[in-house]
Amino acid sequence: METTMMLSQEFKEYNREMSQYGVYGSTLDDLDSGSYDIMLTTKTWYLEDRKSFSKKPQMNESEDITARQYACYISSIGFFLDRVGKGYTYVGFIPVRLTCYSPDITIKIERTFHIALKNAVV
C-alpha cells in the first residue's frame, strides 16, 4: 500500500523561502485538498530585432496544473529571480503572477495562476 505525503511535508525545507510570499504548508495542503482548480497561463515574448518587447505575446498557452506543480513554481522563485505579483485568491494573498527574463534578456515569460473553486458557478 502506497502512502501519499502531504505537500507541507514534501516542501518543508522551503518553508522559510515560501513564507516570504505568504505560502505556508497549510496553504499547500489546502490547495491539494481537491477543492480547487489551478489554471496556469504562460505568455512568452521574444525580443527579435526590436528594442523592446511587443505588447502582445508571441505565444500564449493555458493548462491545468496540480498543487504540487504550483509549489514547485513558488519554491523556485529565489533560484530564478522571478518578479512576483501577489493577489487575493480563495486560499489567501499569495503569488498569482511570476515574470522572468532569459539571461541575455531576449525572452520574457509571464506565468499567471488562476485559482478557482471546483464546480463553482462563475
Q: Is the pLDDT of residue 112 over 90?
A: yes
The residue behind cell 504548508 is 25
**What is the pLDDT, as a whole number, of residue 120?**
61
Residue 77 has pLDDT above 70, yes or no: yes
| pLDDT tens sequence across 16-33 | 888 899 998 888 888 888
**Residue 1 pLDDT > 50:** no
Residue 47 near residue 21 (C-beta atoms within 8 A): no
Give CA–CA dist 65/32, Å, rounded.
11
pLDDT of res. 7: 86
108: nearest Cα among 86, 72, 76, 80: 80
* pLDDT tens digit sequence for 80-109: 889 999 999 999 999 999 999 999 889 999
Domain range annotation of the chain: 12-117
Compute CA distances 121 → 4, 19, 35, 113, whole Å. Answer: 31, 31, 14, 19
